[in-house]
Amino acid sequence: MVTEVKVISFYDTLRRDTDEIFEAIFRHPMVVELCAGTLPEQKWAYYLCQDYQYLRDFKQALGLALVQVDTPREIFDWIDRISGLADLEAKRHLTWARRLGLTEDDLLSAEPDPMALVYRQHMLLAAHRSLGELLAALVPCPATYMEIADRAVERIPDHPIYGEWVRSYSYLNPEISARRAWWGRTLDRLAEAASPRELQRMHTNFVRSCKYEWMFWDMAYHMRGWPV
């Protein structure tokens, strides 16, 4: 008889506890149509504006985190994350924007959707609290994007933007792959050093960000805006 002991990491626990939300994201029409290449471009344009502003706040939240990082090696790691975002993602967004006839100014001056604001504020406030709470709020974005892209990679959509989206977030992209493990590993490491209360907040933040991911796709698909 063999007793198998499997140590389940903090990230694994979080992933398991949010599995239903992940599945709801995979099934959302915005995600389905994006991966099928059939998404109306005006919905993508709405998404792009909101996401460009989201990316800016993501970078700012990482910047806030630097103050809680103690060793130069860790600071390097975090700066690498910020630079990566600044360099890769923001530039790609601008390329897509140009294809849709939008300038960077259009992206930055678009009226923020309340459902985008709630997610962006959630990240920034977490960054004001602690490194662990911030990372728990940040990880659902790369985690869901990579899983969506990985599932779509066998049938890459025949659309210049949507096809590139899938390729760039999937395991086909070596830059993404290289950084992939960093998110979960760093989250696990921060969880080990956290107090019980912080650990609980990390859990809450992760779950909420997963929900916000669904709501972000949903807001873009319906191009909602303000109700008043």
Q: Is the dihedral of CA 12, 18, 19, 21 positive or negative?
A: negative
- Of these, 66, 110, 153, 172, which contacts a second copy (CB under 8 A)? 66
Scan residues 35-54 and list those touching a second copy (CB under 8 A).
Answer: none
* Residue 211 found at the interface with a second copy (CB under 8 A): yes
* Residue 17 found at the interface with a second copy (CB under 8 A): no
* Residue 200 found at the interface with a second copy (CB under 8 A): no
Scan residues 158-197 and list those touching a second copy (CB under 8 A).
Answer: 193-197
- Identify which range of 2-10, 73-81, 136-144, 173-181 contacts a second copy by CB under 8 A: 73-81
- Cβ-based neighbour number of residue 169 at 10 Å: 21
* Residue 21 found at the interface with a second copy (CB under 8 A): yes
* Residue 108 found at the interface with a second copy (CB under 8 A): yes
- Of these, 16, 19, 38, 75, which contacts a second copy (CB under 8 A)? 75
* Footprint on this chain of a second copy (rule: CB under 8 A): 21, 24, 56, 59-72, 75-76, 78-79, 82-83, 86, 90, 104, 108, 114, 117-118, 121-122, 124-125, 127-130, 193-198, 211, 214-215, 218, 226-228
